[in-house]
Amino acid sequence: MITREPENFPPPVGMFGALGRSAVFGCRETGRAMMLFVEAVLNLRSVLTRRARREVINQMFVYGIKSLGVITVVAVFTGMILALQTGIELRKFNQEVNIGAAVMVSMLREMGPFMTGLILAACVGSAMAAQLGTMVVSEEIAALEIMSINPVRFLVMPRLAAMSIMTPLLSFYTCMMGVLGGGLVGMTQLGVSWEAYMRNATRFADMKDLYVGIFKAFLFGMIITTVSCHEGFATKEGAVGVGMATRRAVVASFLLILVVGYFITRMFYYS
């Protein structure tokens, strides 16, 4: 069951009691988030119904397309910063043209998925947690459960499907915009022509870089959805609770994106 009953525990005794309790609760919440993820994945089969498909497309629009603006700005400037920083150093060796490879590879491998993940965690994760949290507080989730409509299938599954499609696409878009931004800086600040920049960029980038980046983004999308939906469902105590759930969702998504990002990189590039 998704709706939670209030729990009564005696207050913890002393500092170690409090620490121990938060450790136990932390483990329990992690477990619950994982079960939520598994249940949402198991419910993915019902994505084949027409209503569910429409809902997925709707979520893709709400969470994906509406984030395009901010993603574009962040992506272009990330590319510009990368080009400028590396360009300044490379100029010492008259190697400015290599900013193409520097921007392309770092965007594809790291910055693209990473930036997309952070932005989606901030825009989408917070919105999901706030929406589901509000639904808990106003008893809408309870109402769904009484109507025997599984909130995981009805709410989490479409979000998970939408985000696992949208995040890789947006990540690819971020990479392209970043490369574009880098090229602009190359042309205007560093005297690298667009053709030379692009030739250099495509020569050094590998298909593997693209795949790993996309895979990372896919994982980030699922992390953001799971964490945010879980935090939303765990909301208690009214409007204040919604605020806290939103904050926890964003913070936890950020941390997980960083940590998981590191381990994916390690897995694919260091062995």
Partner 1 sequence: MIRFERVSKWLSGKFVLDNVDFEIRKGETFVIVGPSGVGKSVSLKHMVRLLTPDDGHVIVDGESISDASGDELARIRKRFGYLFQGGALLAWLSVAENVALPLREKTALTNDEILAKVHETLKLVGLENDGAKRPGEISGGMRKRAGLARAIITNPEIVLYDEPTSGLDPVTARTIDQLIESLRVKLGVTSVVVTHDLHSALTIGMRIAMLHGGHIVELCDPDKFVKSSRPEVRQFLEAQFITREGSWERNIT
Which residues contact partner 1 by CB under 8 A?
A: 3, 5-6, 8, 51, 134-135, 138-140, 142-143, 145-149, 154
First to last CA, the chain: 43
Give me the least distance between CB of 35 and partner 1, in Å please: 14
51 versus 266: smaller Cβ distance to partner 1:
51
**Cβ-based neighbours of 187, under 8 Å, separated by 6 or more:** 193, 194, 197
**Cβ-based neighbours of 89, under 8 Å, separated by 6 or more:** none
6 versus 14: smaller Cβ distance to partner 1:
6
Length reported for the chain: 271
CA 125 to chain centre: 8
Dihedral Cα 136, 3, 233, 239, nearest 10 deg: 30
Give me the least distance between CB of 134 and partner 1, in Å please: 8
126 versus 134: smaller Cβ distance to partner 1:
134
Give me the least distance between CB of 5 and partner 1, in Å please: 6
1 versus 15: smaller Cβ distance to partner 1:
1
Give me the least distance between CB of 123 and partner 1, in Å please: 18
Angstrom distance (rounded) from CA 201 to CA 116: 21
